[in-house]
Amino acid sequence: MERLQKIISKTGFASRRKAEELISKGKVKVNGEIITEMGYKASYDDFIEVNGIPLNKTEDKVYFLLNKPRGVVTTTKDEKGRKTVVDLIKTNKRIYPIGRLDYDTTGLILLTNDGELTNYLTHPRNKIEKVYVAKVEGIVIKEELKKLCNGVIIDGKKTGKAKAKILKIDKKNNTSVVELIICEGRNHQVKNMFKTINHNVLKLKRESVAFLTLDGVKPGEYRELTIKEVKKLYGEGN
């Protein structure tokens, strides 16, 4: 017997956090009974439905690394009919992105049907580093970088420790290119961090997540992760 949200995430339907949200909203049934109790335990042999859809008890896990191009939304479906990151990957599995990148942000995004890995990579306590390269308005100075590294206040909450360095200064066009490494994933976080030091982001690209990079993967292209890479993401290998 396992907690219901863990069963849902293990089958790849949703992350554990999303599963908890679905349970609290009364969207989950076990053997025909609506369950809203977060500590409810069930068996994989139980008939579980989420949003009226029977849960697949056994589904092979898949893992994709996508180089997201500009103008693609990081979601499974878009009500405005825009192309999504899921549309770019050919698979018969029901996958979803781990975290998100803005519509105009490019770079590395992972997609999977593994709820456990999603939960692991997105939880702040695991300190998974994400490397961004931002082209911003204005000339960034070292004192401003120190502020980003020590944490800035966004929506009343201080960001965690970060790493930052200036890659390029263009005095003629009054722009700077900065590398920023963070372990969080708040909505629009990188853009909002630069706003606090009065620099608007013109272009933003995520270069890496943990040890994974975009090497050999062109914009709009993707590849599957190897078993070794998945184990390393879980902290099981080197």
Asked if residue 238 is part of any domain, the answer here is: no
Asked if residues 75 and 161 have their Cβ atoms less than 8 Å apart, the reply is no
Quote the pLDDT of residue 114. 86
Quote the pLDDT of residue 57. 59
Quote the pLDDT of residue 11. 77
Quote the pLDDT of residue 217. 97
Q: Which two tokens stand for residue 136?
A: 């911003």
Quote the pLDDT of residue 197. 97
Burial of residue 6 (CB within 10 Å: 0-12, 13-18, 19+) is middle
Please tell me whether residues 154 and 196 are part of one structural domain.
yes
Please tell me whether residues 219 and 186 are part of one structural domain.
no
Please tell me whether residues 108 and 139 are part of one structural domain.
no
Domain hosting residue 170, numbered range: 129-209
Domain of 182, CATH number, reads 3.30.70.1560
Q: Is 102 a catalytic residue?
A: yes
Quote the pLDDT of residue 238. 42
Asked if residues 96 and 111 have their Cβ atoms less than 8 Å apart, the reply is yes
Please tell me whether residues 142 and 203 are part of one structural domain.
yes
Q: What is the mean pLDDT of each run of 10 residues along the chain (238 residues)?
A: 88 83 93 90 86 74 96 91 95 90 97 87 90 98 96 95 97 98 93 97 98 97 96 74
List the catalytic residue out of 60, 78, 102, 170: 102
